[in-house]
Amino acid sequence: MKAILTKHLPATNTLGSRIKAWTVGGHQITISYPYEFEGENTHRKAAEALCAKMNWTDVELIGGELPNGYVFVMRCTRPINGE
């Protein structure tokens, strides 16, 4: 099972606010801050973008807040071994 960590990257002189999502295995993506969402949902969008990039399909993301961001774990939504 993979865990996806996310954190907010504040705006700099040259870049706007962003959300970074990554795994311990080194997979990562950074997206522009999705201002149309709030709180956990802004981080969920980054986690979903990483899943799409890695072609991790048939998963439900279950998230929780950490002191410096969020963590999402994947729950498989398809039957395993025909169950």
Of 41, 44, 55, nearest to 21 by C-alpha is 44
Q: CA-to-CA distance for 52 and 76, rounded, in angstroms?
A: 15
Percent pLDDT > 70 in the chain is 93
Q: Cβ(21)–Cβ(47) under 8 Å?
A: yes
Contact between 17 and 8 under an 8 Å Cβ cutoff? The reply is yes
* Alpha-carbon distances of 19 from 4, 80, 82, rounded to whole Å: 12, 32, 37
- Of residues 28 and 83, the one with the higher pLDDT is 28
pLDDT digits (tens, 9 = 90+) for 13-43: 999 999 999 999 999 999 999 999 999 999 9
- Note the pTM of the prediction, 2 decimals: 0.89
